[in-house]
A and B are shown apart, each in its own frame.
Chain A
Amino acid sequence: MGFLNNLGGIKVSRRVTYAAILVALAMTFSYIEVLIPINIGLPGMKLGLANLIVLIGFYILRPQEVFFISLIRILLMGCLFGNGLSLMYSLSGGIVSYIIMLTLKNIKGFSIVGISIAGGAGHNIGQILAAIWIIQNDKIIYYLPPLMIAGMITGALIGFLAKRILPTISKGSQKILIK
């Protein structure tokens, strides 16, 4: 059980529990999101509620744990409600936004709101890249500017939300979860 010990010994079950709760919450958020569609004629545009979980995760769990929370959420939602193609878009968007948010988190000077804005834009960049690759036509890049702006707006909303709830969550979790 060396792997589990490396994760933090006796605290490992708590970490696993936290990660599981976050996966469940992220899935719930993804599901709720389907019920509140924002249709402004932009395919691929959504609120990105699940990103709230990834953001919070960055502040209470380790980066690799956050990565797996995001990955498991995307894979499970893809299997349950999506298809192969929608999974590709989510995966690509999720990975690009994860990399961008982790990078900004490690650079000092960005707040959770800024990280979320970059993550939102990154998610849509990732999706466009996936779309270019899937449909084999780079003309689709024309959708990038409006999608990037949309991603930044929804990213800002999610970021402000995260900023409000993070103090409450980290108060409850600081005794269990070490960085």
Chain B
Amino acid sequence: MRSEPGWTRRGFLGGSAACAATLLLSGARGERRTDSERRTLVVLRLSGGNDGLATLVPLGDERLAALRPDLVLPALDLLRVDPQHGLHPALPRLRAAFDAGLAACVPGVGLPSSNLSHFKSRAIWDAGGERGAASPDGWLGRHWELALRGDARRDSPLALVALGTDALPLALKSAHGNWPAIPRLAQWVAPQQGLEPGAGAGFVPGSNAALVLECQRRAREASALVARAAGRSRAPEYPASPLGAALRDAADLLAAELPVRAVWLELDGFDTHTRQRVQHARALAQLDAALGVFLEDLRALRRLEDVLVLVHSEFGRRPAQSGIGADAGSDHGTAGPVFLLGGGVRAGIHGGPADLAALDEDGNLRVEVDFRRVYASVLEWLGGAATRVLGAGFEPLPLLRS
């Protein structure tokens, strides 16, 4: 990672992200702790289809301005991470993480065949395969079944958890084990009564009644663990956004040393068919502010080395804009960048810039990297069995230090 000539770090640090950047730069590598049993994955989905071309911008490609005159960002505002790529100006803390060796990015990641549907694309990402919504379990759920289930040191009723949401994503579904989606940790406190269903005499296995009963049993166990995470005395100030609150909850679980192996989070607001300039900047700023504090918090908790954040979106967006002027947006696309954050990453951009000369018949980017290759890398780092979770043929990428 080099700075752009003529662009001073001092100038950057004087900006809004100075505090986070200072902390990240000063002590990121202070603690080396690679106890693989403590490894935790935080998955964050940018929901709606993040515009990759405005997140990790290919530098010096004139085709971009031709395709999207009203969306293209001024070159001088971009936060350059390597000679070929600049980050959106709303991502200063992410840029600081690249500088500190805490961020990696794979451009051009997508599904093997595009369908441009939010829901179908999400289901394929979550299932970790083309069965999508027809899959009974998700990729993290299968990872748990195969690598974590029953492991006394790593398993728990909170091994997988979704935070900041009331819906459980397919990614966490597993044949055994029912995982909680917890909107706000502070309000997720078991009542005195009402969670005492009894043994369920006469309930048919596999029925919805049995499902409710089993989830209630899991909820009692998980809430007993969560109670231990309540009231952390010292924590940095998180932004007052939904993602800030969810990441704060995630950090509280980690701070309490609870056996959490994968956390699921979602940030909405990326379906920018119109008014993209304003909406996308707003969504990215929320992402950047919350992630910046989270990384700072992980460092303070000495968990940077064993927590990995995976940021993805169901698809990228169409290179050509739709609409015009301030109203301009972009329709559903295909490939986009995936980001990995944490002390375990091999920092930098792992791939070349988006190829705007070779668009598909719908005018979309070609997928360079099957999303399962990223999953395979992450599963390997987690000590999982990638081929058993994903099937064969998805070679891990050198994104993480073992």
A and B held together in a complex: no
Binding site for B on A (CB under 8 A): none
